[in-house]
Amino acid sequence: MKFVGIILYATWLLLLLLRYANIPKETSFSYSRTFFGSLAWYRNIRNLILITALFIVELYLPIKSLYLLFLITGIVILALCINNLRLRIGRFLPTMTTFIFGLGIFIISCFFVFNL
């Protein structure tokens, strides 16, 4: 069952990256639309995949592996923010807020992955 959760989570990350690649890169860039879409949460298949994956992963995965997934997610968020800052996509404040959030996820996950 834990492999199903990992595969669903990896699928969500892949869909996130594909969505990011296809979204217009201009000043109206929105992280909420990129991560969660513009539909209601129960009508968006990506959100349902994420909710299902997180539920399965939290129940069946060892704690170190769970934080490893969060570490990978933090790296993806940081990469998206760095790319947006480098190419001046979107507004500065939301990008920096998301960058700090991704950095927090990365640091906390590193602590648990490498110290447990």
CA distances in angstroms from 50 to 70, 88, 94, listed in the order given? 13, 28, 22
- Around 79, how many Cα atoms within 13 Å sit in the side-chain half-sphere? 11
- Alpha carbon distance 24, 100 (integer Å): 23
Residue 87: both structure tokens together: 């190419």
Q: What would the pLDDT profile of 3-55 be if each residue is shown by its tens digit?
A: 999 999 999 999 989 988 888 877 778 888 888 878 777 788 888 999 999 99
Q: What would the pLDDT profile of 76-114 be if each residue is shown by its tens digit?
A: 999 999 999 998 888 899 999 999 999 999 999 999 999
Residue spans per domain, the chain: 2-115
Contact 4, 56 (CB under 8 A): yes
pTM metric for this prediction: 0.86
